[in-house]
Amino acid sequence: MSGGGGALLEVRGLEVRFPVRVRGRRRALRAVDGLDLEIGPGETLALVGESGCGKSTTARAILRLVEPHAGRIVFEGREITALRGRRLKPVRRRMQVVFQDPYGSLDPRMRVGQIVAEGLVIHRIGTRRERAQKVARLLERVGLDPRCADRYPHAFSGGQRQRIGIARALALDPSFIVCDEAVSALDVSIQAQVLNLLAELQRERGMAYLFIAHDLAVVRHVAHRVAVMYLGRIVERGPVDAVFERPLHPYTRALLAAIPSADPARRTIGSGARNPWRVAGDPPSPVDPPSGCPYRTRCPVAVAACAEPPIPRVEAAPGHVAWCRRPDAEPAPAHGDSQGAHL
């Protein structure tokens, strides 16, 4: 989808900055730097990128858990960027989150039934008996015995705890759920079970997901569209099959090249130390990001013009776009760091 009136969530020009001190001077760390995205009803948008690129901060800003410095957030046709207190509370019922750590995201002092029902209590939904009945239905729907409502989180495995987290997110019947690395802490077999559960729930309830991940192999199986993030910005976005089959941005190619595969025939871009697309060095500081393309200091096909803003928008197909001056360039096979590291 291309945004507009059909979007459940629309974000434009989102900026999140945090004050930091560098050598005794106060500076602004640009965690999210002018980000645009949209998600349609019942759609899964995957937000991918390496650790520290701003994925979780983006999600927290959308959920209004951190304050955006600039930009607009429109949810279900209503701008929520400036909402506070009681005006924001009804919106929170419609937006929920499943956190990454199934061990740290559940209060160890609360019973499972209390954890799942907490949102219902806060929003004063139902009587005590009605809440208990709903908790039992939710636990059963996520594959847990309703009798476990009286037990504490320490009695459950990681996969079971994540199911409890999903039940908690479903309690208020949201239309949008953020899955913030929701399966990265789980074993592979348990990951598949949780992902299948999320897909089933989406089909049943028509919810939209913002699926934050760094595992692109998982993303291809769960997402409708994917947005690739680097240093606080979206560098490429589009339908998941289009992005995987014809990546435009060098950073997207580097991420795809890093996907491990036991079948060499399926490695369409390259791998290993001789892989020309591999990411060299460390990302620049978000306190002082590069001019122009944020990836140019690590890009194997970067040229001097990549330092000049604005970076052109390239569209390979409807909805599949990237911001790059050299989307079709190919790097020369070489050892060591890329030539872009010297620009």
HEC assignment per residue over 15-58? EEEEEEEECCEEEEEEEEEEEEEEECCCCEEEEECCCCCCHHHH
- CB neighbour list of residue 135: distance below 8 Å, 6 or more residues apart: 113, 116, 117, 146, 149, 167, 171
Residue 252 lies in a domain: no
Render each residue's pLDDT in the chain as its tens digit; 343 residues: 443 448 999 999 999 999 998 888 899 999 999 999 999 999 999 999 988 899 999 999 999 999 999 999 999 999 999 898 889 999 999 999 999 888 889 999 999 999 999 999 999 999 999 999 999 999 999 999 999 999 999 999 999 999 999 999 999 999 999 999 888 878 888 888 999 999 999 999 999 999 999 888 889 989 999 999 999 999 999 999 999 999 999 999 999 988 876 665 555 444 444 577 877 778 888 999 999 999 999 999 999 999 999 999 999 999 999 999 999 888 876 544 444 443 4
pLDDT number for residue 264? 57
pLDDT number for residue 94? 95
Q: 60 and 22, same structural domain?
A: yes
Q: 272 and 232, same structural domain?
A: no
Sign of CA dihedral 331, 336, 340, 343: negative
Residue 256 lies in a domain: no
Question: How many independent structural domains does the chain possess?
Answer: 2
Q: 180 and 69, same structural domain?
A: yes
Q: 122 and 57, same structural domain?
A: yes
Q: 72 and 120, same structural domain?
A: yes
Which contacts (CB < 8 Å, 24+ apart) does range 1-4 have?
Answer: 1/38, 1/40, 1/43, 1/225, 1/319, 2/38, 2/318, 2/319, 3/38, 4/38
Residue 136 lies in a domain: yes
Q: 237 and 297, same structural domain?
A: no
Residue 253 lies in a domain: no
Q: Which two tokens stand for residue 179?
A: 């899955």
Residue type, 15: E
Residue 254 lies in a domain: no
Q: 267 and 239, same structural domain?
A: no
Q: 234 and 275, same structural domain?
A: no
The answer to whether 28 and 18 have CB atoms below 8 angstroms apart is yes
Residue type, 266: R
Residue 110 lies in a domain: yes
| 150 to 145, 155, 166: CA distances (angstroms) | 11, 11, 17
Q: 101 and 8, same structural domain?
A: yes
Residue type, 153: P
Q: 217 and 166, same structural domain?
A: yes
Q: 292 and 236, same structural domain?
A: no
Span between the terminal Cα atoms of the chain, in Å: 36
Q: Which domain holds residue 276?
A: 263-343
Q: 212 and 88, same structural domain?
A: yes
Helix, strand, coil percentages, rounded to 5, for the chain = 35, 25, 45
Residue type, 298: R
| CATH number for 131 | 3.40.50.300
What is the reported pTM?
A: 0.88
Residue type, 80: I
Residue 337 lies in a domain: yes
Q: Which two tokens stand for residue 115?
A: 């954890």
Residue 60 lies in a domain: yes
pLDDT number for residue 265? 55
| 106 to 96, 114, 133, 145, 150: CA distances (angstroms) | 15, 11, 21, 18, 14
